[in-house]
Amino acid sequence: LLCLPLFVCLTEVNGQDIKQIPQSLLLQEGDNFTTYCNSSRTLNSIQWYKQRPGGSPVLLISVVKSGAVKQKKLTAWFGETRKDSFLHVVATQTADAGTYFCTEA
């Protein structure tokens, strides 16, 4: 997938037991977005990454216990059952364009 400025791609990278929704978002500068990961099994922890076209994945935030972790304009939440998570990004800018994905740490 080619991600143009403010086009957010979302992908699953670590197998069939974690599903991520939605698949992609087309945003305008200043928009907020949320992406979700759901697993068929209990996870130890969850990590959210962003990858720019042609770049390496960059760790955005890691959650090791149920609850929310807030970091600047990012909020990551890990459910009590440890099977679901979401990443919320506020006030997107061009630099936020890229591919976002979750993985088990």
Q: Does the pLDDT value for residue 62 go beyond 90?
A: yes
Which amino acid would we find at residue 96?
D
Round to whole Å and give the CA distance between 33 and 55: 22
pLDDT at 23: 66
Q: Which two tokens stand for residue 71?
A: 């970091």
Helix (H, G, I), strand (E, B) or coil at 50: strand
Q: What is the pLDDT of residue 104?
A: 82
pLDDT band, very low/low/confident/very high, at 11 (cuts 50, 70, 90): low
Instruction: Judge if pTM exceeds 0.85.
Output: no
By three-state DSSP, how is residue 25 classified? strand
Q: What is the distance in angstroms between the CA of the first residue and the CA of the last residue of the chain?
A: 24
In the block, which residue shows the tokens 């740490």?
Answer: 105
The token duo for 36 is 């979700």
**Residues 6+ positions from 97 with CB-CB distance below 8 Å:** 3, 4, 5, 6, 7, 8, 52
Residue 2, pLDDT > 50, answer no
Distance of alpha carbon 75 from alpha carbon 28, whole angstroms: 19
* Structural domains of the chain, ranges and CATH numbers in brackets: 12-104 (2.60.40.10)
What are the tens digits of pLDDT across the range 29-58?
888 888 888 888 888 888 998 888 788 989
Confidence category of residue 6, pLDDT binned at 50, 70, 90: very low
